[in-house]
Amino acid sequence: MRRILRLLPVLLAAALPLMAETTGTLRQGTPEVFATAPRLSALQAVVLGIVEGITEYLPVSSTGHLILAQRALGMDTEGSGKDAADAYAICIQGGAILAVLLVSRKRILSMLKGLVGRDPQGLKLFAWLVVAFLPAGIAGLLFEKPMKRFLYGLWPVTVAWLVGGFFILALAARARRQAADGRSIGIDGMGWKHALAIGLLQCVALWPGVSRSLMTITGGLLIGLSMPAAVEFSFLLGLVTLGAGTVYEGLKAGPEIIRMFGWTGPLIGIVTAGVAAFLAVRWMVSYLNRRGLEAFGWYRIGLAVIVGALLLAGVLA
C-alpha cells in the first residue's frame, strides 16, 4: 500500500495533461455543444466525488485535490463559474459526512443520548467537539473572502502540500516515540483545554492544501492522545466542521450552484463522495494503526514537486 501511495502523484501528474488537453480540444472543436451542455457532467461529478471521498479524511487535503481536479477538468473558470465551483468544492463534503455517520454511529448515538441526559460521557464529548469547532468556525467567517481570493489557487496549495509533507515526517517520528512510552490517553480522558488546542490547530487548515485531518490528528497527538483516539476525534470533529461548512455554503451559494451545474451532477458527486469516503475511512483507521503517517508525508512531497513542475512548465496555468 505504501508503494501505491508513492505512485499516486506520478499517476495523477501523468493524467493531468491528458485531461486538460482533452477538455481544451472538446471546447475548441465543438463550441456549439459546450454552449448548451451542463457545466458539470456526470463523469466530472463522479471524478470530483471520488477525489473528495478518498482525500477528505486522509492527511493530504481534499480541498487542494479538488482545486487540482477542477483545473484538470476545465472547471476553473472566472467570475460566477469559479465561484460556483469553489462553493461546490465545499458542499460536496456532504457525502463525506454521511460516511462518518455510518462509521462512528456508536459515538454519535452516545452523544445524542447525552443531549437528553442519558449518557454523561457522550454529553462531555459533544461539548468538547463544540469547543474544538468554534475557533475555525469563527476564523472561517471572518476571513472567508480573503482566503478564497488569495489561497484558492494551485501555487498556495502546492506550497502547503510540500510544507505539510515534511511536517508529517517529523510528526510521525514523535508519534512512534509517544506510542513506545505508553503514556497516551483516549477520547474519554480529554478535557476542554485539549479540545481547544485541537480546534486552534484546525484553523491552520483553512489554508487549502494544509489538510483539516492532518491538523486535527496532529493536535490530538500533541496533547497526548493515542493514534486511534486522535483519528477518531478528527473524524468526529470533521462531522461538525464539514456539516457547518456545507450548510453555510449551501444556503449562501446553493442557488448559484444549481444555476451553473443543475441538480443531477452535484447530487451524483455527493453520493459518490459518500461511498468513496466510507471505504477510505475504513481503510485509513486500519492503516494508521499499523503503519503510521510517513507514507502520506512522502505522497504530499511527491505531489507538490510534480504539480510545481507542471506549473512552472506552463502545463497547468
Q: Please, which pLDDT band fits residue 88 given cuts at 50, 70 and 90?
A: confident
Q: Please, which pLDDT band fits residue 51 given cuts at 50, 70 and 90?
A: very high
Q: Please, which pLDDT band fits residue 133 given cuts at 50, 70 and 90?
A: very high
Percent of the chain with pLDDT over 70: 84
pLDDT (0 to 100) of residue 89: 82
Q: What is the mean pLDDT of the chain?
A: 83
pLDDT (0 to 100) of residue 78: 58
At 179-208, the pLDDT tens digits run 666 667 889 899 999 999 999 999 999 999
pLDDT at 32 over 60: no
Whole-number Cα distances in Å, 219 to 82, 175, 228: 33, 12, 13
pLDDT at 2 over 80: no
pLDDT (0 to 100) of residue 121: 94
Ranges 81-85, 129-133, 144-148: which has the least confidence:
81-85
pLDDT at 282 over 70: yes
Average pLDDT over residues 292-306: 94
Q: Is the dihedral of CA 218, 223, 229, 232 positive or negative?
A: negative
pTM for the complete prediction? Answer: 0.79
Q: Please, which pLDDT band fits residue 8 given cuts at 50, 70 and 90?
A: very low
* DSSP run (H or E) holding 272: helix 264-291
Query: Is 161 or 288 the better-scoring residue by pLDDT?
Result: 161
C-alpha to C-alpha distance for 148 and 80, rounded to whole angstroms: 13
Q: Is 271 exposed, middle or buried (0-12, 13-18, 19+ CB in 10 A)?
A: middle
Residue where the block lists cell 485539549: 194
Q: Please, which pLDDT band fits residue 160 given cuts at 50, 70 and 90?
A: very high
CB 59 within 8 A of CB 216: no
Percent of the chain with pLDDT over 90: 48
pLDDT at 119 over 90: yes
pLDDT (0 to 100) of residue 137: 93
pLDDT at 248 over 80: yes
Whole-number Cα distances in Å, 158 to 23, 60, 140, 183: 23, 11, 21, 36
Task: Return the half-sphere exposure (C-beta side, CA atoms, 13 A cut-off) of residue 13.
Answer: 19
pLDDT at 146 over 60: yes
Per DSSP, the three-state class of 185 is strand
C-alpha to C-alpha distance for 76 and 317, rounded to whole angstroms: 10
Select from 125, 92, 99 the least CA-distant residue to 284: 99
In b/e form, how buried is each residue of 196-216, taking b as 16+ CB within 10 angstroms?
A: bbbbbbbbbbbbbbbbbbbbb
pLDDT (0 to 100) of residue 85: 79
pLDDT at 312 over 60: yes
Ranges 42-51, 123-132, 147-156: which has the least confidence:
147-156
Average pLDDT over residues 112-128: 95
C-alpha to C-alpha distance for 203 and 187, rounded to whole angstroms: 21
pLDDT (0 to 100) of residue 148: 80
Residues in the chain, how many? 317
